[in-house]
Amino acid sequence: MAKQSLARFRAVARSKGYRPGEKPRGRSPLSAAERDAPGVHARDPQTVSSTMSSLFRDRGWVQEISVGGVVGRWRDVVGDQIADHCTPETFADGVLVVRTDSTAWAQQLKMLAPQLVRRMAEDVGEGVVVDVRVLGPAGPGFGKGKRAVRGRGPRDTWG
For residue 32, name the pLDDT band (cuts at 50, 70, 90).
Answer: low
- As a whole number of angstroms, the distance between CA 99 and CA 108 comes to 12
pLDDT for 134 equals 92
Reported pTM: 0.54
Mean pLDDT of 22-45: 62
- Domain 67-135 indexed as CATH 2.40.30.10: no
3-state secondary structure of 122: helix
pLDDT for 111 equals 92
Q: Which amino acid is at 119?
A: R
Instruction: Tally Cβ neighbours within 10 Å of residue 83.
Output: 15
pLDDT for 120 equals 82
Give me the percent of the chain exceeding a pLDDT of 90.
10
